Structure 1
């Protein structure tokens, strides 16, 4: 029911204190048309833009006049004076003042002069085009013309004699009835009478009005989507809000087209609507077919100028409208903000967890402090523990690319283990990504560590196909104080790993594993192997290789000679030369064992290369 209560106006501030609901909304807020003005002038020209805004204002004025007449009833003058207040209420002007008001109802004449300050139209025109040589408040003039004409039931003409857009201090209009027209009103008569019957003009008006309505719809939906971000809601809330507004199925995917969120459609159905050319990179909004009978409108989601995902509408028996594209692009922007916020929160959380892992490794906190911090981070300190050290391998990595990869890899690993409910801390130390796993149920099966490592390695390559990955896996422990040792073991295993043996368990290294953890090459220096290696390099001999084969064949002269295709006399000479350099009895079991272990250690580190003749630890071929 229409509110019949009169509008209440504060006499001092000239603000409308109370206005009936039926009188609100016919005038679009001034801010929503500022962009439209520039676009129209650039596309259809100054004259047609002027006409459009005059006609838009005129229609709005006529509509509001009908409401005001029903409110004021027989008080025509009251209804007239309420018009300037509507300008203020809609944000078109900051202040209005009537300087002259003369109306003779019997003669049907009206002479009305009004001054208004801070016209939004004038301000917009100055910002976009500078000062004008004529009045620019076409929308306000059109509104006043339609409003007054409808209230008094007689055609009026309004002329803007001063305008802030022309450099005047304020805008001032003069209103006359048609009977009192003067020469200044000829241009307005032309617009009002001659063009009012123009079919082309009406068509243009309706088209632009439709575009305005679409713009309002886009802004309203975008505001609702952004409110989801401001409220701290998830990506799922954005998808659901978008579906409510558009009544279309909504898909939000990552850059690899994996589903993140859906609305208005089940995940199973969404999987059936993968777009053709699923690996194609879409750089702008595009309409594509799907693997089912439908179609989809997709647009990329950007973060820091990089595509991180896609937002899409699905269509079955309909086709997208032009406004759908605008709304989808705004939705992608809202998704971008949401994902960026999630990334910041995730990065911050991961940095804290990484620092905690660093403190555990270095022993920088006692057990009580560690337990307290673990509780706040949601990490269960209960045993059993083991550690994985991961190192990406690429020939084309710059320092910046390495940092970016580490960040991406850590974030992905966090999501990977979170999805599987595995209790982990992830950090970075030197060139390696470290994962401390604490999961008693997982490690109850002796083969589970091996299985988890293989699956993680496979998924890492699938997620980052341009890289190879090598893994070093520590032993297990029941004590949190052993984390530092687990770290050393995982790094020692990583030193042995390569592209062919990409996953190495510390348990498979035997005595070499402990050598790999040594801070110096004590055993190598003790038995003068460094001098022997240097001798080979300087004189291009193969004494070190001879020593390896001799020890590997149980210090058997004839067997070694056959393996090396060497004469026994020549081999005796070399063995004597080895004894002279090393200054030890290489046939003594305790010495031969330590020498052989040291040589294996150097071969594993690739400090020694005897070619295909030597295979060290067949069990290190990887898991």
Structure 2
């Protein structure tokens, strides 16, 4: 009797070598270690999931092949073929033993359920030896083999799923064999491993992704080329956001390091309050149900100089191309900001030197006009000046020069945004701002409103500092800037805790004394002339107010009594008392003028209110 005429029950009773030679025309042996190393290399190259699919399909084909060989022998019913499966397992050395724990078929002899125990599988042993415990079953080859074998001999699609695995810490490996339709959604992810075209499909998907990435790179490269062209043509940040908006259709804006929007393009919501953002990576931030931002930092050296952002509405989200474009735009913006910074610093250095030369009287008028024309200042235009003096709330000020430069840069940006032709400099730790008055007038703001906006702008960046401001009058020529500076210093000396902005024109006659740079002399002048009166006067300063009203009304008893709502006899008594305290005749015109000046200084300094 030939081997093929043998009954399948008896085929495996022959020596193993004989069975192998009869079943297979040629067979090769693969060391388990070599197979394990191959699996590890595949995992490194194509990942865990793809490697699992490779070995499941390899097992499937081996199982189908053995099923065809089993079906070529004699057999009484399908149970003979099913029971031959474990014998093939052992024949190949996949495991030591197979125990069928449960098996059921329906009335049409269709398989319902098979539960099998695999004893000492080679895949579990190798995994434990190399990697220790696993979080999921590892006998992929055996699952594929059993699925292929049973599907072939039972003539129905069977899927085998390992539910317990020795590599996971179970005593032995256990699997469930059921028709695919009985598994339901539980095996949705497993089915792809058994599909012959899954690898081809996956390759097609990868090819499609590569094509998309190639298109993305091409578009990003094209946008980057446009950005570089604009950079080389000395275009500013506005051109950058315009290009981004035109090419992507996304609203885009660039903000500075203080989260203030510098330029924008597209339909940006009017009421957009930017959150403080200090992330050094490109980040997608959801602000509300209606608005999200893709923000990337603009870095110059190691300093954060701002952020470039795409705006998304509703549920829209950025794709890979958006990330690529915005990061390239951030690099271009960084270069533009660096160029602008160099240009601004150079320009400001020249302007500051020019202003300092004017204040120190180092320039002849002809030379002054020539430089002013070169710096785009109209020498014959009107000008005004404000001088800022800061007081830190803390006891110690560190990095004084660096701080002043930072404050000057911050003020310069404020003025530049409002297109005010100006020079910002520092002298004696004070910040000086000379402005061409017509460019200020174009804002249609009062001086007080403008200064209030400037102080708020500074306080947002430097909240620890209190800033006092002296404001000059308006002069007709830039050559008179030294006079403006003296006026601002005089106004600064009048500032106090209750009033931090003083206008030179408010000083009145006291402006003469406030131009004395030594505050001690001014205080001595006041004390010398009305010091005695201050010592005896009450907190309401009734005597000083009476004296001021009397002098202010030209020493008229009647007009003064009327203004103060006093009786003439009461007023005469109070004036006599004042004259006695001061030990001087109040009708002395020169002396009265001196008293009037001293009281005006007290008013200007906010020590009394009249």
**Partner residue, 2:449:** 454
**Partner residue, 1:25:** none
The alpha carbon displacement at 1:257 in A equals: 5.2
* 3-state secondary structure, aligned to 1:383: coil
Cα deviation code 1:47-71 (max 9, x no counterpart): 766789xxxxxxxxxxxxxxxxxxx
Are the aligned partners of 1:457 and 1:469 in contact in 2 as well (CA < 8 Å)?
no
* 3-state secondary structure, aligned to 1:344: helix
The alpha carbon displacement at 1:483 in A equals: 1.9
| 1:368 paired to 2:369 | no
Which structure: larger Rg?
A: 2
Q: Aligned partners of 1:439, 1:528: CA distance in 2, in Å?
A: 36
The alpha carbon displacement at 1:412 in A equals: 4.6
**Partner residue, 2:128:** none
**Partner residue, 2:595:** 595
**Partner residue, 2:336:** 338
Cα deviation code 1:294-319 (max 9, x no counterpart): 64322233446555432122345753
Change (3 A) 1:352 1:234: same
Moved more, 336-345 or 319-328: 319-328
Q: Aligned partners of 1:206, 1:432: CA distance in 2, in Å?
A: 65
**Partner residue, 2:306:** 309
Moved more, 200-209 or 362-371: 200-209
Gaps of 5+ in 2: 1-38, 48-195
Are the aligned partners of 1:523 and 1:598 in contact in 2 as well (CA < 8 Å)?
no
**Partner residue, 1:287:** 284
**Partner residue, 2:297:** 300
The alpha carbon displacement at 1:293 in A equals: 4.4
Q: Aligned partners of 2:275, 2:526: CA distance in 1, in Å?
A: 58
The alpha carbon displacement at 1:473 in A equals: 2.1
Are the aligned partners of 2:516 and 2:522 in contact in 1 as well (CA < 8 Å)?
no
Gaps of 5+ in 1: 1-43, 53-195, 617-623
Equivalent positions of 1:53-92 (< 5 A) are: none
Are the aligned partners of 1:468 and 1:499 in contact in 2 as well (CA < 8 Å)?
no
Change (3 A) 1:285 1:546: same
**Partner residue, 1:615:** 609
**Partner residue, 2:548:** 552
Are the aligned partners of 1:255 and 1:310 in contact in 2 as well (CA < 8 Å)?
yes
The alpha carbon displacement at 1:485 in A equals: 1.4
Change (3 A) 1:260 1:210: same
**Partner residue, 1:464:** 459
Change (3 A) 1:572 1:372: closer
Moved more, 207-216 or 322-331: 207-216
Change (3 A) 1:328 1:437: closer
**Partner residue, 2:262:** 260
**Partner residue, 2:18:** none
**Partner residue, 1:484:** 482
Change (3 A) 1:243 1:441: closer
Are the aligned partners of 1:222 and 1:334 in contact in 2 as well (CA < 8 Å)?
no
| 1:239 paired to 2:241 | yes
Q: Aligned partners of 1:590, 1:420: CA distance in 2, in Å?
A: 49
Q: Aligned partners of 2:230, 2:43: CA distance in 1, in Å?
A: 40
Which of 348, 351, 354 is the equivalent residue of 1:353?
351
The alpha carbon displacement at 1:572 in A equals: 7.8
Q: Aligned partners of 1:464, 1:295: CA distance in 2, in Å?
A: 29
Are the aligned partners of 2:473 and 2:504 in contact in 1 as well (CA < 8 Å)?
yes
Q: Aligned partners of 1:527, 1:502: CA distance in 2, in Å?
A: 23
Are the aligned partners of 2:469 and 2:500 in contact in 1 as well (CA < 8 Å)?
yes
**Partner residue, 1:424:** 422
The alpha carbon displacement at 1:461 in A equals: 0.9
The alpha carbon displacement at 1:525 in A equals: 9.3
Are the aligned partners of 1:295 and 1:314 in contact in 2 as well (CA < 8 Å)?
yes
* Aligned-residue CA RMSD (Å): 5.1
Change (3 A) 1:359 1:278: same
The alpha carbon displacement at 1:342 in A equals: 1.6
Are the aligned partners of 1:423 and 1:438 in contact in 2 as well (CA < 8 Å)?
yes
Change (3 A) 1:329 1:532: same
Cα deviation code 1:227-274 (max 9, x no counterpart): 6445533223433454566564433233565543345x3xxx2236x7
Q: Aligned partners of 1:483, 1:430: CA distance in 2, in Å?
A: 17
Change (3 A) 1:226 1:438: closer
The alpha carbon displacement at 1:394 in A equals: 4.6
Which of 259, 262, 268 is the equivalent residue of 1:270?
268
Q: Aligned partners of 2:439, 2:45: CA distance in 1, in Å?
A: 75
The alpha carbon displacement at 1:490 in A equals: 1.5
Are the aligned partners of 1:346 and 1:411 in contact in 2 as well (CA < 8 Å)?
no
Q: Aligned partners of 2:285, 2:509: CA distance in 1, in Å?
A: 60
Q: Aligned partners of 1:293, 1:543: CA distance in 2, in Å?
A: 64
Are the aligned partners of 2:414 and 2:457 in contact in 1 as well (CA < 8 Å)?
no
* 3-state secondary structure, aligned to 1:476: strand
Equivalent positions of 1:4-403 (< 5 A) are: 199=199, 206=206, 220=221, 224=225, 225=227, 228-230=230-232, 232-243=234-245, 246=248, 248-255=250-257, 258-263=260-265, 265=266, 269-271=267-269, 278-281=274-277, 283=279, 284-289=281-286, 293=290, 295-303=292-300, 307-315=304-312, 318-396=316-394, 399-400=397-398, 403=401
Change (3 A) 1:499 1:291: farther
Are the aligned partners of 2:533 and 2:582 in contact in 1 as well (CA < 8 Å)?
no
Change (3 A) 1:410 1:227: same
* 3-state secondary structure, aligned to 1:271: coil
Are the aligned partners of 1:551 and 1:592 in contact in 2 as well (CA < 8 Å)?
no
Q: Aligned partners of 2:389, 2:312: CA distance in 1, in Å?
A: 45
Cα deviation code 1:481-513 (max 9, x no counterpart): 322112111211122134543432222211101
